[in-house]
Amino acid sequence: MGKLQSLKADLHKLSNPEKAKLLQGFFKTGKGQYGEGDIFLGVKVPECRAIAKKHSDLSLNELAELLKSKIHEERLTALLLLVHNYQKNPNKKIVDFYLANTQFINNWDLVDLTAPRILGDYLLDKPKNILYKLARSDSIWEKRIAIISTLAFIINNQFEDAIKLSEILLTEKHDLLHKAVGWTLREIGKKNPQVLETFLIPNYKKMPRTMLRYAIEKFPEEKRQAYLKGNL
């Protein structure tokens, strides 16, 4: 059995049809939904992560093949393996591979578990042009990669690009982007409430409701209500 087949076999041994059915609904896999056609095995993230570590010697060519799988956990494991190898040895080759395969990073968990740890980490001390390109993409997943990557910057008290990307994505229609931008803004607020409010005051009345609710989640109740009622 080859390396790739061995990894797939390990995943399939852990499949849980009952959990898979729940995940199919949770990740909106029905016709016309954002995860249409995605197939789940019902394997938990920690289990996928353990399998990724076990098979961390897979080549990028083998990972590219795995990423094309219609099975969600196979793509997830490929990406977690990429994160694992990047954290052991941060390098541009892995980042370039990640960016070349964004079409397969096509659900919100795949983005959220990888974008800050690979792309965000790599760009910490580098120009951020690629994030602005992704934010203006036609793909909701590339847009989400752009904004979620900035969580790596926010942890390091770098807020400028997260704010600028939030402005670009402010009028997006998709709920998954409302949540992603709101979550990012909330994390800025936890680090520096003043930076968050400087962004919110001119923008909160035109922000999608979900985005605003996420952004102000940690505010004192009185202030939170003032934003929600437009009474500032």
Cβ(98)–Cβ(68) below 8 Å: no
For the segment 90-131, what is each residue's pLDDT rounded down to a tens digit? 999 999 999 999 999 999 999 999 999 999 999 999 999 999
Domain-wise residue ranges, the chain: 1-105, 115-226
Question: 3-class SS at 106?
Answer: coil
The pTM assigned to this predicted structure is 0.96
For the segment 216-229, what is each residue's pLDDT rounded down to a tens digit? 999 999 999 999 99
Cβ(147)–Cβ(165) below 8 Å: yes
Q: What is the mean pLDDT of residues 145-152?
A: 98
Whether 26 has a pLDDT exceeding 90, the answer reads no
Distance CA 142, CA 99 (A): 9
Topology of domain 115-226 in CATH is Leucine-rich Repeat Variant (1.25.10)
